[in-house]
Structure 1
Amino acid sequence: MTQHAYGSSRSDPLDPLAPLEDTSDASTAALSDRARPLPRISIQAFCETPALAEVLQDASEDRRLSKTHLTIQMGGAAAAVAHYQESPTPNLIILESQRSHAALIAELDELAQSCDPGTKVVIVGQTNDVMLYRDLIRRGVSEYLVMPITPFELMECLSGLYNNPATDPVGQVFAFMGAKGGVGSSTICHNVAWTLSEILETDIVIGDMDLAFGTAGLDFNQDPVQGIGDALQNPDRLDEVLLDRLLTTCSKHLSIFAAPVVLDRDYDLTPDDCQTVVDVVRQNVPFVAVDLPHIWTPWTRQLLLQADEIVITAVPDLANLRNAKNIIDHMKQARKNDAAPRLVLNMANMQKRPEITVKEFESALGIETLAVIDFDCENFGQAANNGQMVEEYSAKAKAVQSFRDIAMTLAHRKEIKAEKKSPLAPLLEKLKLMR
């Protein structure tokens, strides 16, 4: 059999075609998690229908493909053959074909003459044909997709080609930001991260990006010498060994990347530097909570856009409503294939303070509130002064359950609650047996 230049990612070339998964609301979150970010690769697509071109355009605007360079052309396999007779092939070719089985195989054989070794090829067709699929895989085609497909399904396919399924998945990033300064976004971030580490017993890192005034060290009663400022000065040097030295351990599963909190040093942060640091951390732990200051810069916008989940904390007043709407609308537009940002209303139901109702907030923003945390100066204030989380200080505090709900929602998990048994349960069981 002739050896072609296409690079195949299939370990078993005889796997039958499976129907594409639906992307209902119940499965969208799981499908989104499986579509991991792609590395810096060049992708060229040759379409025959506007439908696929539109899917590719939508996918190209997604955060998971932000590092790739994607070009879209019309003309299908014939255009690809003509193009690569004079041009080098990219890392990945996406080819749409409505031709018959024999005609498509002939075009691929011709294309193979111009393909560089290592180039991956994904074919998009109209026929759910097992025999065609097997012939394509034998010729080194990496994947065969059947129209119609969604941007999610396309991104999952491409992610599978460049991410080793045998390795641990890339950690999820949760970005926390306040709609206004002083609304308690950092407190929400720290308590949710601590709660997640305690419930799931899994590692999580808090990255304190408020370099001048960050409170992660204070909230966890730590005074680290090194932290995230050192990593941001030389992001290219950050690796697993250096990361371990710069992190401060707060509990068995929680570490903080503390801010330097000094005013005699300037940090000229760039989006790429910040993203590099976050990417290194997420390669080493399952969850990363990024605590963003209430400023709007290219790097804060980039970290929001690249996060798996966004949590906006607001106080129920007019300024918070306006700012939250601006941020959420912007994120919805820029992150079309992701869930909308989550909204947490903090310090609600304060006595004698006029407030905008939860219903009015939700109506104006077009999203449901993830949690409403009542004003509780005693528990929150004493916990902060002690360098503790709210649940550590008072497990009966009303906000504890809200933090648990937020944590489980972000992690796409359900908390398994122990069933409370009556003190009389043993006696009642004995009475049942005696009947």
Structure 2
Amino acid sequence: MRRIEGRVPVVVVTQEFNAAAVRILVQLQVADFLVKPITTADLVRSVIRALQGPGREENSESQIYTFMPAAGGVGTTTLALQTAFQLHHSVTRGASTCVVDLNFQQGACAEYLDLEPRFDITEIENQPERLDRQLLDVMLSKHASGLCVLAAPTRPSEMRSFKTDVVVRMLDLVSAYFDNVVIDMPRTWFPWTETVLLGSNKLYIVAEMTVPCLRHTQRLIQAIYETAGKEVKPNVIVNRFEQKMFDSGIKQADVQDILGEHFVGGISNNYRLVREAVDRGVPLHDIDPNANVVNDLKKIILPEEAVATTAKSKSLFGLGRGLLKRKAG
């Protein structure tokens, strides 16, 4: 490999992943790095990326979608990952997509997809400039669908705050090579949080239908405006959303009154589906592509495709009724 280094792109397939392999591959400046077992599709996609070269099309700008929890356990990771899959497979925006898990202490993006987290942030902590395309490729976890995940092994006993330039270098590099970037933020506010929010094209706060959570969401919106200014508009997604007509408790009208223009939609409460997807390490649409959770999120993230899908369903339903009428006649 040393003889052909620099002349043709090299894709390496290896049996295991370890620190020694990382150092060797970085020195060789390989185009991509895959760990067995791999599928034929994985290998083909890797070769295509290598042949296309390191740059993206000129004038193309990465779209960054950032998800921030209003409270613990509201389902931020689930919605961030499903958003990434929808963007990756989108008819109108489908392109290379990467999920970045910035919850270094308790992140679960890789776990939810049954992937090994490979991002060793200590490798670049003191020298952010060391992170280049080759090292990034080595540290990306790759899903069978082609979706990439940049996630570090979690350290529950450590509460560490990395320098802003480390996070900025990481996000700059990811956005240079991917068309869509989905960021899963921690609940804790760090020195680099404001920078990430300002660099986002879309910011989604994930909340749930409880009074304490909605009140905290209001405070979080205010904090974002105070620190990042009006350049950032928080959009609130209420997860496990239930439209109650006659029961006591919070109703949709209450949510809209509390959140105002920031409320962009609710996600149906489908705990059984989400739990099965997490336990199996698969995206929600693998279990049920027409699930209410999947469709609710698409209406928010890809409204133009959601409308087209709904119209198609209605036309098919109308056709079915027409056939029944003709048969009855």
Aligned partners of 1:348 and 1:373 also within 8 Å: yes
Match of 2:10? none
Match of 1:38? none
**SS of residue paired to 2:89:** helix
The 5-angstrom pairing of residues 101-250 of structure 1 reads: 167-199=58-90, 200-224=93-117, 226-227=118-119, 229-230=121-122, 233=125, 234-250=127-143
One-letter identity of the residue aligned with 1:192: T
* Cα offsets for 1:368-387 (capped at 9, x unmatched): 42221122121111111111
Percent identity at matched positions?
Answer: 21
Aligned partners of 1:206 and 1:289 also within 8 Å: yes
How many residue pairs are counted as aligned between the two chains? 259
Match of 1:382? 276
One-letter identity of the residue aligned with 2:284: V
The 5-angstrom pairing of residues 36-435 of structure 1 reads: 167-199=58-90, 200-224=93-117, 226-227=118-119, 229-230=121-122, 233=125, 234-263=127-156, 267-336=160-229, 338=231, 340-349=233-242, 355-408=249-302, 414=305, 416-417=308-309, 419-420=312-313, 422=316
Q: CA–CA distance in 1 between the matches of 2:316 and 2:158? A: 59
**SS of residue paired to 1:202:** coil
One-letter identity of the residue aligned with 1:227: F
User: What TM-score results when the alignment is normalised by the length of structure 1?
Assistant: 0.54
Q: CA–CA distance in 1 between the matches of 2:235 and 2:202? A: 8
User: What TM-score results when the alignment is normalised by the length of structure 2?
Assistant: 0.69
Aligned partners of 2:268 and 2:296 also within 8 Å: no
Cα distance change of structure 1 residues 316 and 403 upon mapping to structure 2, 3 Å threshold? same
Aligned partners of 2:70 and 2:213 also within 8 Å: yes
Q: CA–CA distance in 2 between the matches of 1:170 and 1:408? A: 18
**SS of residue paired to 2:237:** strand
One-letter identity of the residue aligned with 2:191: P
**SS of residue paired to 2:186:** coil
Aligned partners of 1:305 and 1:334 also within 8 Å: no
Cα distance change of structure 1 residues 180 and 196 upon mapping to structure 2, 3 Å threshold? same
Aligned partners of 1:229 and 1:260 also within 8 Å: no
Cα distance change of structure 1 residues 401 and 237 upon mapping to structure 2, 3 Å threshold? same
* Cα offsets for 1:17-68 (capped at 9, x unmatched): xxxxxxxxxxxxxxxxxxxxxxxxxxxxxxxxxxxxxxxxxxxxxxxxxxxx
Aligned partners of 1:205 and 1:287 also within 8 Å: yes
Cα distance change of structure 1 residues 376 and 237 upon mapping to structure 2, 3 Å threshold? same
Gaps of 5+ in 2: 1-56, 324-329
Over alpha carbons, which structure has the higher Rg? 1
Q: CA–CA distance in 2 between the matches of 1:284 and 1:424? A: 44
Q: CA–CA distance in 2 between the matches of 1:336 and 1:384? A: 36
Q: CA–CA distance in 2 between the matches of 1:181 and 1:364? A: 20
Q: CA–CA distance in 2 between the matches of 1:353 and 1:250? A: 42
Higher relative contact order (CA 8 A, sep 6+): 2
How far did residue 392 of structure 1 move? 1.1
Q: CA–CA distance in 2 between the matches of 1:274 and 1:403? A: 28
How far did residue 217 of structure 1 move? 1.2
Cα distance change of structure 1 residues 330 and 414 upon mapping to structure 2, 3 Å threshold? farther
One-letter identity of the residue aligned with 1:229: I
How far did residue 317 of structure 1 move? 1.3
**SS of residue paired to 1:174:** strand
Aligned partners of 2:105 and 2:159 also within 8 Å: no
Match of 1:93? none
**SS of residue paired to 1:206:** strand
One-letter identity of the residue aligned with 1:177: M
**SS of residue paired to 1:167:** coil
**SS of residue paired to 1:367:** helix
How far did residue 212 of structure 1 move? 2.2
Q: CA–CA distance in 2 between the matches of 1:376 and 1:231? A: 40
Q: CA–CA distance in 2 between the matches of 1:312 and 1:287? A: 18
Q: CA–CA distance in 1 between the matches of 2:318 and 2:298? A: 29
Aligned partners of 1:177 and 1:294 also within 8 Å: yes
How far did residue 215 of structure 1 move? 1.0
One-letter identity of the residue aligned with 1:288: V
Gaps of 5+ in 1: 1-165, 430-435
Q: CA–CA distance in 2 between the matches of 1:207 and 1:325? A: 26
Q: How large is the Cα RMSD of the aligned pairs?
A: 3.0
One-letter identity of the residue aligned with 1:189: A
Aligned partners of 1:209 and 1:291 also within 8 Å: yes
**SS of residue paired to 2:216:** helix
How far did residue 335 of structure 1 move? 4.7
Q: CA–CA distance in 1 between the matches of 2:227 and 2:130? A: 31
